[in-house]
Amino acid sequence: MTPRTAPAVGLLTLDSPLGRIALHAEGDAVTRLEIATAGRLSTDGLPDSPTPVLRRAATELGEYFAGRRTAFTVPVRVAGTPFQEAIWQHLRTIPFGAVRGYGELGRATGRATAGRAVGGAVGANPVPLLIPCHRVLASDARITGYSAGDGIPTKVWLLDHEGIAHR
């Protein structure tokens, strides 16, 4: 029997127009993206340990913020409940500059009246930006919340960056 080695675990912190971002990886996939809240990250004080997939994610994020990228190709791996994973899969299909409503996502996953559950799943997305949860608005284009970074101001910046109308 050949001994198994643990997958490479990485951390890379980078600056962005939204503030600092911490990228986490296991093996060949990004598993978490954290946007600083009030200037702080949960990894403050930990040394970076970049991996190839984290370097690739940092490059793609830099291109996105510079307006040269509209879709991410870096591999991500997320784990949640079956419902959360279904919602996250639908989020991945929302193109740059487009939005979906909470009800639309609920209908797409067979739970048309599960607005709160949809909102909870959207808010639990462990890799915001890479899985574009900021592209979800209320049916009247209202911003109802955002759990990454500094909340609604972070979402407003992202929507404006993509030219998405909102209120």
Active-site hit among 23, 76, 133, 159: 133
**Predicted confidence (pLDDT) per residue in 34-54, tens digit:** 999 999 999 999 999 999 999
Instruction: Tell me whether residue 119 is one of the annotated catalytic residues.
Output: no
Per-residue pLDDT for the chain (167 aa), expressed as one digit of tens each? Answer: 555 555 678 999 999 999 999 999 999 999 999 999 999 999 999 999 999 999 999 999 999 999 999 999 999 999 999 999 999 999 999 999 999 999 899 888 887 677 788 999 999 999 999 999 999 999 899 999 999 999 999 999 999 999 999 98
Q: Which residues constitute the domain of residue 154? A: 82-161
Residues 157 and 98 in one domain: yes
Residue 96 sits in a domain whose CATH number is 1.10.10.10
Residue 116's pLDDT is 83
Residue type, 143: I
- Name the 3-class secondary structure at 70: coil
pLDDT at 3: 56
Predicted local distance difference test score (pLDDT) of residue 111: 77
Is 37 in contact with 47 (CB distance < 8 Å)? no
At 110 the pLDDT is 83
Our measurement of the distance from residue 147's CA atom to the centroid of its chain's CA atoms, rounded to an integer in Å, reads: 10
Residues 87 and 52 in one domain: no
Residue 7 is predicted with a pLDDT of 65
CB 139 within 8 A of CB 101: yes
Domain count, the chain: 2
* Residue 44 belongs to some domain of the structure: yes
Query: Is 166 domain-assigned?
Result: no
93 in the same domain as 39: no
Q: 111 and 157: one domain?
A: yes
- Whether residue 86 is found in the same domain as residue 151: yes
Q: Say if residue 142 is exposed, middle or buried (CB neighbours under 10 Å; 0-12, 13-18, 19+).
A: exposed
> At a CB cut-off of 8 Å and minimum separation 6, what does 118 contact?
87, 102, 103, 105, 106, 109, 111
The model's pTM is: 0.92
- The confidence score (pLDDT) of residue 97 equals 96
